[in-house]
Amino acid sequence: METQVLEHEAPQVTGGVGFEPTIVAFVCNWCTYTAADLAGTSRMIQQPNLRLIRMMCTGMVDPKYILKTLLSGADGVLVSGCHPGDCHYINGNYKARRRVKLLGDILTQFGVDPRRLKLTWVGASEGNEFAETVNTMIDDIRALGPMEARSLKVL
């Protein structure tokens, strides 16, 4: 019964050959979300492993969101916002950088590969850049295999 549920809900959990990662991206409304839109309308090839969550600013990506995501079955988290100096709210992306830095220090202490949490700057006009960032990260995480939290029953 248990395995049936697992197979049904999370077919990729076993990893190895055929593992398809799930990546959650917190992207800012003003830059990266627009870039994602552009990448889509420009029909750039992107692998379908990404789940986008639009935020008003990377500065409002609470560390809790990232922790919860990684503990709840995501194999990687991408945080992406405006280039330094371009933040719609002046400095949210700099704050995000400190938070991602902090989380990286904490998570690696518990064996989480640092590549599973990525911060990038992708401007509104950089559809290319967005598709490339996404495809590279998906390839990296696919090679890394599934996040440990997926296989843990007690968290």
Partner 1 sequence: MATTARIETKDRGPVVGMQEFLAQLLADEEIGAVLVPMHLQQGGTPMPTLVTDPAELAQADPLAPAFPLNGARMVGRLTHGRPGEKIAAVMRPCEVRAFIELVKLNQGSMDELVIIGVDCLGAYKNSDYFALLGEDDPIQTTLAFLGKTGGTKATARNGYDIARACRVCEFPVAEGADIQVGLFGVNFDDGLPVAAYSVRGEALLSRLGLAEMEPLASREQALREAVATRTALRDAVFKEVSAKTGSLKGLSQHLAGCVNCYNCRTACPVCYCKECVFLTDVFDHKPWQYMSWAKQRGMLKLPSDTVFFHLTRMAHMSTACVGCGQCSNACPNGIEVMELFRTVAAKTQAGFDYEPGRSLDEPPPLSVFHKNEFPEVAPVE
Query: How many residues of this chain interact with partner 1, rule: CB under 8 A?
Result: 43
Does residue 7 touch partner 1 according to CB under 8 A? Answer: no
Does residue 44 touch partner 1 according to CB under 8 A? Answer: no
Does residue 141 touch partner 1 according to CB under 8 A? Answer: no
**Whole-angstrom Cα distance, residue 133 to residue 115?**
13
Helix, strand, coil % in the chain, rounded to nearest 5: 45, 15, 40
Element at 52 (helix H, strand E): strand 50-55
Please, which of residues 77-136 interact with partner 1 by CB under 8 A? 83-85, 91, 94-95, 97-107, 109-112, 119-121
Q: Which of 44, 52, 71, 144 binds partner 1 (CB under 8 A)?
A: 71
- For partner 1, give the closer residue by CB, 43 or 153: 153
Please, which of residues 10-29 interact with partner 1 by CB under 8 A? 10
Non-local (6+) Cβ contacts of 142 within 8 A are: 19, 20, 21, 49
